[in-house]
Amino acid sequence: MPPSETGPNVLGLPEVEAIDISGEPSRLAACALVACVPAQNEEGWIARCLAALDAELWPGEGVLLLANGCTDATIAIARAVTAGWTRPFLLVDCRWRPGEGSAPLARRITFDMAEALAPDALILSIDGDTVVLPGLRAAYAAEFERGFDLVCGRIGFLPEEAALLPHADPGSEAVIRDYRETTREIAALLRPDPDNPWPHHGNIGGANFAMRAAAYRIAGPLPILPSGEDRALRRRFEAHGRRIRYCDGARVETSCRLEGRAAGGLSEELRRNRTQTDPLVDELLEPAETLLLRLRAEAAFLAAPLAEDRARILTRLGLAAGEAARLAETVGGLGWHAAEEASPALRRTRLRLSDLRRLLPGLQAARDAIREARSGSPA
């Protein structure tokens, strides 16, 4: 497949030194779905990734693979695997200026290209070390037919790699799992989401989610952060009032290697939990009092009909009166998103495993009290 566009920087991005685009970009225009696959030195996984996509996607749907500064055989393997494909396929070989490239930026380029080339399509986010499982495409189709804008699938591990993982301490894993599940249940009790009745998996990961290109135009682009860009994108969808769904039927299996490509990613978390006695934990986990303050303030802000009512809520969150009044002028999710970012009272402090052990009983007690109150029993 010869390059269709080659140049020092045909995308006009300052971080890019040179880029080759192989394939016919115009073929993506009619695609109902474009799978976006950023890959950095994935020679051991990319063949399975692409073969699984070709088997699972519907005829005529496209794949956009961005080689993120690859120095191994990823590109050659991708060309060989896709040589006989009839579906639209675009290979973007991106080489960065020294110190400029990143996994979030690579993913953002794939999303932005897919949205520009196929503005009416669904955009599927997949990693280059990930295998989609049968049923994924039909599961996503069913959710988007119900009107959702962002659908987050399930992510498991490649079983042959999971079998080789060093064992993590079961007690520590249980504390992290229980804290995360209790946090999500409290959120579901205080801020019920009719689109996602409890229980639901509540997770978004770049290895498996899909969105409408039209919704991405409104809520995007993907934020460029050291880590957690997928969660930041979800927050933008929430702020813009887009409908989000957590789907069990769209499943993938991804690599669980301990030495990954992305800073702050899955590999780092797996390694930390197996090598450190008191590791840092998920940044979304917080003490019960902060969680309750956040959820109740959000509910009150979104329900407040007047700007002065919203401003009073924000001053109780530590914002100066002038800033609170300014932020209160913006209604809905966009206003709350900005206020939450500015609030000293809601600033997140990263917890460690020892913190979770200490705080878990209080979090569970708070959940139990809310359950009892919701059931009409005395708290």
The string of DSSP letters for 69-101 reads S--SSHHHHHHHHHTT--S-EEEEEEEEPTTT-
Domain boundaries, the chain: 3-275, 288-375
The band of 150, judged by pLDDT with boundaries at 50, 70 and 90, is very high
pLDDT, mean of residues 273-278: 94
pLDDT at 99: 84
At 11 the pLDDT is: 61
pLDDT for position 376: 75
- Is residue 5 predicted with pLDDT exceeding 60? no
| pLDDT at residue 263 in the model | 66
Assess if CATH 3.90.550.10 describes domain 3-275: yes
User: Given a cut of 60, is residue 8 above it in pLDDT?
Assistant: no
pTM: 0.94
Distance CA 321, CA 179 (A): 35
pLDDT bin (cut points 50, 70, 90) of residue 100 is: confident
* Angle, helices 229-239/103-117, rounded to nearest 10 degrees: 40
User: How confident is the model at residue 14, as a pLDDT?
Assistant: 82
Question: Residues 92, 107: contact at Cβ < 8 Å?
Answer: no
- Give the model's pLDDT for residue 2: 44
Please tell me the predicted confidence (pLDDT) of residue 266: 83
Q: Is the pLDDT of residue 260 over 90?
A: no
pLDDT band of residue 15 (cuts 50, 70, 90) is confident
Given a cut of 50, is residue 129 above it in pLDDT? Answer: yes
* pLDDT higher than threshold 90 for residue 261: no
pLDDT tens column, 317-354:
999 999 999 999 999 999 999 999 999 999 999 999 99
d(C-alpha 88, C-alpha 77), whole Å? 17
Distance CA 125, CA 107 (A): 8
Instruction: Give the pLDDT confidence score for residue 267 in this predicted structure.
Output: 82
CA dist 159 to 14, 127, 129, 307, Å? 40, 17, 13, 53
d(CA 118, CA 193): 31
Mean pLDDT of 99-108: 92
Half-sphere exposure (Cβ direction) of 306: Cα atoms closer than 13 Å: 3
Q: What is the mean pLDDT of residues 96-117?
A: 94
Q: Is the pLDDT of residue 366 over 50?
A: yes
Question: In the predicted model, is pLDDT for residue 7 greater than 60?
Answer: no
Would you say 74 and 100 are in contact if contact means Cβ atoms under 8 Å apart?
no
